[in-house]
Chain A
């Protein structure tokens, strides 16, 4: 106990980390599936993803991080060309 601990342990301080609330991808009931053909690379799905689980890449295409995506479906709702479909998990 009396050995010097890091200040993070001693004062219960926190460091930034992905998945601080867990591997939230496991929460999903539906997963967003992006139709690359329809996608117009507008970036709105990235903009409106609450989880910050969509990456808007250098070439302006998007990629979903399924480790953390909670499947809320906002991306699908805001996509102006309906390029994102919410598919039930477990369905091939």
Chain B
């Protein structure tokens, strides 16, 4: 099944009540498959054909406020069109799940993969996870509902999948049965945290606070929920493992990193290529490992600190770019890296440029050689751009 269809399968199994999404390449297959499922009666949900992404998120937000389980999906420009609503939805503390099929931003128009879009919402209050293969796309989408609706969390969850690389690529997929999912994921409790219904409790959301400090406290409560979300992630994935037999390290995956002297850090689908490079390098005698970030929000500082401990050098691969700064992940991680440990932030794969295992291998080897030769290296941003054939 392709990644987009895996998302749709998870949404169906989660018995989502309201779906609203505006088509944008490469998310379109999600929207189309979900419409089919609804029209065929496989999924008893309301599919709202909205006129924009802003309205897509606004309508699932309304549905969540009414106590339903709701879902939307988008990419790059669509995600940015709903930017205002993203923040409003998160601070309203309503459970929601959104799939973000990552894609570059224009100009120029480009439908290929880049992580800049999903990372650009990292301040909004959404929990953000990124999958690295189609099975994980399915698993992360399904667990997102359990996570988002947990009373200790009550924050919306965005699950990223690389555009075309995962969304349109077929991989084998194991799917639990509806009975199994029902036993683990009960219907949403509409009263949690509150519900807007005619004749119901006369609760009002969102009017101005009497004192500004209420606002500040509210954000502090959100932060608390983000912290608790880490524990809830551990619980959810542990239960999910028992249910399906597939266990994941919840926040960060450590691939051959426990005895590594050098680690690469990646997020998303190209982690697979990076793992191939790690294996090749290990065969060649290099003590290398990979840290794969699964959830960038809540920021997994404890796990990262643990895996970085004792390492001689870290090279972070960013498939994104924060203009005037460098790679986002490099920026976020650098603060965790002790000052005597070497660090290099590599920007690669922007615009959907293919980064193969040999590319990863070359970059990591060069980094290791530089560190071994000079004893220390600290580069926050370094561009890895392949040369263009026959050009300048």
Hey, which bits of chain A sit against chain B, CB under 8 A?
Answer: 1-2, 5, 7-16
Total A-B pairs in contact (CB under 8 Å)? 39
In the assembled complex, the Cα of A7 lies from the Cα of B224 at a distance in Å of 15
Q: Which of B68-76, B198-206, B274-282, B299-307 contacts A (4 or more CB under 8 A)?
A: B198-206
Residues of A within 8 A of B194 (CB): 7, 11, 13
Residues of A within 8 A of B383 (CB): none
Assess whether A12 is in contact with B202, with CB atoms less than 8 Å apart.
no
Assess whether B205 is in contact with A13, with CB atoms less than 8 Å apart.
yes
**Range of interface residues on chain B?**
10 to 19
- Among B93, B193, B215, B224, the residue within 8 A (CB) of A1 is B224
Q: Decide yes or no: A13 and B203 within 8 Å by CB, A7-B193, A7-B194 being known contacts.
A: yes
Hey, which bits of chain B sit against chain A, CB under 8 A?
Answer: 92-93, 193-194, 202-207, 209, 214-215, 217-218, 220-221, 224
Besides A7-B193, A11-B194, A16-B202, 11 other A-B contacts (C-beta < 8 A): A1-B221, A2-B224, A5-B221, A11-B92, A11-B193, A11-B218, A12-B218, A13-B205, A14-B205, A14-B207, A15-B204
In the assembled complex, the Cα of A8 lies from the Cα of B218 at a distance in Å of 11
B27 to chain A, nearest CB (A): 30
Chain A, residue nearest B218 (CB) = A12
Chain A, residue nearest B228 (CB) = A2
B212 to chain A, nearest CB (A): 11
Across the A-B interface, give the 7 residue pairs with the lowest CB-CB distance, nearest first: A14-B204, A11-B93, A13-B203, A12-B218, A16-B202, A10-B221, A7-B193
Residues of B within 8 A of A9 (CB): 217
Chain A, residue nearest B215 (CB) = A12
In the assembled complex, the Cα of A1 lies from the Cα of B194 at a distance in Å of 20
In the assembled complex, the Cα of A13 lies from the Cα of B207 at a distance in Å of 8
In the assembled complex, the Cα of A15 lies from the Cα of B205 at a distance in Å of 9
Chain A, residue nearest B209 (CB) = A12
Residues of A within 8 A of B205 (CB): 11-14
Q: DSSP class of B's interface residues: helix, strand, loop or mixed?
A: mixed
In the assembled complex, the Cα of A16 lies from the Cα of B203 at a distance in Å of 8
In the assembled complex, the Cα of A7 lies from the Cα of B217 at a distance in Å of 13
Residues of A within 8 A of B202 (CB): 15-16
Q: Decide yes or no: A14 and B224 within 8 Å by CB, A7-B193, A7-B194 being known contacts.
A: no
20 pairs across A/B with beta carbons < 8 Å? A1-B220, A1-B221, A1-B224, A2-B224, A5-B221, A7-B193, A8-B203, A10-B193, A10-B218, A10-B221, A11-B93, A11-B218, A12-B205, A12-B209, A12-B215, A13-B203, A13-B205, A14-B204, A14-B205, A15-B202
Residues of A within 8 A of B214 (CB): 12
In the assembled complex, the Cα of A14 lies from the Cα of B205 at a distance in Å of 6
Residues of A within 8 A of B209 (CB): 12
Q: Decide yes or no: A13 and B224 within 8 Å by CB, A7-B193, A7-B194 being known contacts.
A: no
B242 to chain A, nearest CB (A): 28
B111 to chain A, nearest CB (A): 38
B22 to chain A, nearest CB (A): 28
In the assembled complex, the Cα of A14 lies from the Cα of B221 at a distance in Å of 17
A59 to chain B, nearest CB (A): 30
In the assembled complex, the Cα of A12 lies from the Cα of B92 at a distance in Å of 9
Residues of A within 8 A of B217 (CB): 9
- Among A1, A2, A10, A13, the residue within 8 A (CB) of B204 is A13
In the assembled complex, the Cα of A2 lies from the Cα of B205 at a distance in Å of 22
A15 to chain B, nearest CB (A): 7
Residues of B within 8 A of A13 (CB): 194, 203-205
B131 to chain A, nearest CB (A): 30
Residues of A within 8 A of B203 (CB): 8, 13-15
In the assembled complex, the Cα of A89 lies from the Cα of B140 at a distance in Å of 66
In the assembled complex, the Cα of A56 lies from the Cα of B209 at a distance in Å of 33
Residues of A within 8 A of B93 (CB): 10-11
In the assembled complex, the Cα of A5 lies from the Cα of B217 at a distance in Å of 11
Residues of A within 8 A of B193 (CB): 7, 10-11
In the assembled complex, the Cα of A89 lies from the Cα of B367 at a distance in Å of 81
Residues of B within 8 A of A5 (CB): 221
Chain B, residue nearest A14 (CB) = B204
In the assembled complex, the Cα of A7 lies from the Cα of B209 at a distance in Å of 15
Chain B, residue nearest A8 (CB) = B203
Residues of B within 8 A of A12 (CB): 205-206, 209, 214-215, 218
Residues of B within 8 A of A16 (CB): 202, 204
Residues of A within 8 A of B207 (CB): 14
In the assembled complex, the Cα of A12 lies from the Cα of B207 at a distance in Å of 9
B155 to chain A, nearest CB (A): 12
